Structure 1
Amino acid sequence: MAEVRLSEAEVWEVLGGVPDPEIPVISLVDLGVIRGVGYEGDTLVVTVTPTYSGCPATAVINMDIEAALRAAGVAQLELRRQLAPPWTTDWLSAEGRAKLEAYGIAPPQPAGGPERCPRCASGNLHKISQFGSTPCKAQWCCGDCLEPFDYFKCI
């Protein structure tokens, strides 16, 4: 593919199609880890803030970003890691929160626990463990449908 210079809107569109490797129902844009895109000369610079500094998916995220942008024709690319300010669940898009819930993961809530079961919408919930399938999630269970589910912790 020939090298192209995508507009910033086109870059955001490409990145909006890159799924999070741990929760593939949401994109990296929905997750809020893409902090900025822009050009410095002929080089496209994408700034990425990991969900936390030790996130094991960071390398995969960077590879997926690079692969998507290279497939779109970007030849000169720099990925920058930005740790400050640290990522927060406040950066999740409204669409990302809805996608999490539809996927069966309770989205983060300011009160520190899920409002309702993502499967049956019951509020009869209890925490099983502060640690879930990834460090970003806790394990909860619904007292009505009896299904366990992940809760995306507020960070």
Structure 2
Amino acid sequence: MKAFKPKHQRLLLVIVALIALIGAALLAIYALRNQASYFYLPEQMRDDPPAAGQAVRLGGMVEPGSLKTQADGVTIDFMVTGRDASRIPVRYAGIVPDLFVEGSGVVAEGALNPDGVFVADNLLAKHDENYVPRELEGMSEHQAARMAEETTVGLE
């Protein structure tokens, strides 16, 4: 059997490298298939709920008047509403973010349990484009810029 010419050796090496790369990509996709966290709006979750226990994200608004703290002081129950008044009950045990209030936006990461309650493992509070940190409330734009400048002087 004759040895391959250098040109054919390079071609064979490129083909083997491509096959290995494609194989690695397919293995990564296969391994991560259950790690994907799909995003649902309340109306989507109502119409086509995910399988019980499947990790998903639920995004919407915290319904005013729905926030209830359980007797343990750590667990809260509330409703997430959508555009068409869809309501999904949510239960979360843990420390809530500072920006989490009734009427604000929220993204809850967790899973729907068989009785239709979304059990959140993590809450992400959203704020609108008019958000101002507590430290800067009541300041003019000029005063806020000066304060920001003063706090970064020592960092350079």
TM-score, structure 2 as length reference:
0.23
Q: Name the structure with the higher strand share.
A: 2
Q: Name the structure with the higher helix share.
A: 2
